[in-house]
Amino acid sequence: MNTRAAPRPDSQRIGDLQKAQQQDEFCRGLRALLMHPLMAAGHEDFPAVRRQSERLRDWFARETGWPLHVEREGARLFKRPANLSDDTRGIPAYDKRRYVLLCLACAVLERADPQITLQLLGERVIQWASEPTLASRGFEFTLRTSTERRDLVAVCKTLLEQGVLQRVAGEEESFIHDGNGTQHDALYDVQRRMLAGMLAAVRGPSTWRAEDAPIQFEDRLRSLVVEHQVESEQGHRDALRHHLARRLLDDPVIYTASLDPDAQAYFVNQRGAMASRLCEATALTAEQRAEGLALTDESGQLTDVSMPAEGTEAHATLLVAEYLAQRLRHDSRSAATTDKAIAAFLRGAVEQYGRYWRKSAREPGAEQELADIALDRLYKLQLVHRQEGWIHPLPAIARFSLGETQVRPPASRHGLADTLFDE
């Protein structure tokens, strides 16, 4: 009779350890891609992404429908947003002008030699900026002023962060104050693979013929990211699942009432199972209530706007959040207020909390700027809604409460309630 030897305890422990290490590496790579969809080979988490590339590719395709390409030069997760009307996204300190310059710079680099200088990049951007269509819309770029050179440097820094450019020599800051651009310059290598991944659209805007191109801005956005959907019941369910998973991974919270009827029905029935799958892979924590669902990150790494956080503005934001949460608890029908009322509240808070704030924030009139910053943060976190000059607190704002103020080490976190919607 054949007998089968029992596995040795040491071998089993080693196998369990290897499995745990694989899962940890997968989670680390997944989280890194969510924060850095365009990842250069030099990124600290790229080795993990490359080793786990097949598993990551399958997971993103199944759960979100986002394609993932991993090559030796870097990785690109084509992370297309579920909500095209969300105006809280974007590169910090970028306005429309800088986005135009970024597009022009990419167009220049596509046709450039393997190396380019900052000055030459600027000169070629000037040539593209004189294109009649841009000129007819009032766009002008000359590099004659320090403001224009600062905009170009901001674009270069973005391309450096994305791995499209690699600095070989020189630096950018002195270029801003160099009137003719000949005394201070920088030299870059152009990484064409990374440049090709800059656009996450399904269809490039240049593929539209002028007579066929959508006219309205919203229609143009949709035309760039519209994806093929299988004409079947399963295809419809897959599209709903992908849409909701994208929002859960991208947005601070999903409110059930904000969804259309089809998505709402699917969400109510499947949110538990969906949250479980997403949390298992990402190490996020699901917080579910009748009003909605959020996937939270206790480490604060998977967020562009942290709360609670350090600093005067962060403290003021937490004060405003508690103020609005109390109004919501007291009477949800009359919880709305105005930004002037928020500013007045912060002016009144100076006496109690001002000693923790920087000096300029305690000056008369500074409360309006503080209120604007606080409301902007809360809006980005989907904790308030703005409408016709009114500020409406949303249910998830009740998860924040302010305890007794204490001076703590910078790494500590306080004032965070245990649940999404405090009852």
Q: Looking at the structure, tell me whether residues 385 and 330 fall in a common domain.
A: yes
**Surface-to-core class of residue 279, CB atoms within 10 Å of its CB (0-12 exposed, 13-18 middle, 19+ buried):** middle
pLDDT digits (tens, 9 = 90+) for 146-194: 999 999 999 999 999 999 999 999 989 888 887 665 668 899 999 999 9
Expressed as residue numbers, the domain containing 54 is: 18-77
Give the model's pLDDT for residue 2. Answer: 56
CA distance 257 to 416: 25
Give the model's pLDDT for residue 290. Answer: 83
Q: Looking at the structure, tell me whether residues 163 and 100 fall in a common domain.
A: yes
Q: Is residue 225 part of a domain?
A: no
Give the model's pLDDT for residue 113. Answer: 94
Judging by DSSP bridges, how do beta strands 384-387 and 390-393 pair with one another? Answer: antiparallel
To which residue do tokens 């306005």 refer? 95
Give the model's pLDDT for residue 421. Answer: 45
pLDDT digits (tens, 9 = 90+) for 202-236: 888 888 887 888 888 888 888 888 888 788 888 89
Give the model's pLDDT for residue 412. Answer: 45
Give the model's pLDDT for residue 415. Answer: 42
Task: Tell me the two tokens of residue 388.
Answer: 């016709």
* Cis amide leading into 410 (omega within 30): no
CA distance 249 to 81: 10
Q: Looking at the structure, tell me whether residues 325 and 274 fall in a common domain.
A: no
The beta-strand segments (E) located in 78-178 are 115-117, 165-170
Q: Is residue 414 part of a domain?
A: no
Give the model's pLDDT for residue 69. Answer: 96
Residue 46 has pLDDT above 60, yes or no: yes
DSSP letter for each residue of 167-215? EEEE-SHHHHT-SSSSSS-EEEEE-HHHHHTS---SS-GGGS-TTTS--
Task: Tell me the two tokens of residue 216.
Answer: 């309205």
Question: Domain count of the chain?
Answer: 4
Q: Which amino acid is at 295?
A: L
Q: Is residue 326 part of a domain?
A: yes
Q: Is residue 55 part of a domain?
A: yes
CA distance 48 to 66: 19
Percent with pLDDT over 90 in the chain: 55
Give the model's pLDDT for residue 401. Answer: 59
User: Comparing 121 with 217, which gets the higher pLDDT?
Assistant: 121
**∠ CA 39-283-304, rounded to 5°:** 50
Q: Looking at the structure, tell me whether residues 176 and 129 fall in a common domain.
A: yes
Give the dihedral of Cα atoms 268, 269, 272, 276; nearest 10 deg.
-120
| CATH code, 179 | 1.10.10
Instruction: Provide mean pLDDT across the span 382-406.
Output: 80
pLDDT digits (tens, 9 = 90+) for 304-360: 777 767 889 999 999 999 999 999 888 878 889 999 999 999 999 998 888 889 899
Q: In sequence order, what are the residues at sequence separation of 6 or more whose Cβ sits closer than 8 angstroms to the Cβ of residue 365?
A: none
Quote the mean pLDDT of the chain. Answer: 87
* 114-128, 209-223, 233-247, 263-277, range with the lowest pLDDT: 209-223
Instruction: Provide mean pLDDT across the span 110-126.
Output: 95
**Surface-to-core class of residue 215, CB atoms within 10 Å of its CB (0-12 exposed, 13-18 middle, 19+ buried):** exposed
Q: Is residue 90 part of a domain?
A: no
Q: Looking at the structure, tell me whether residues 112 and 167 fall in a common domain.
A: yes
Give the model's pLDDT for residue 419. Answer: 43
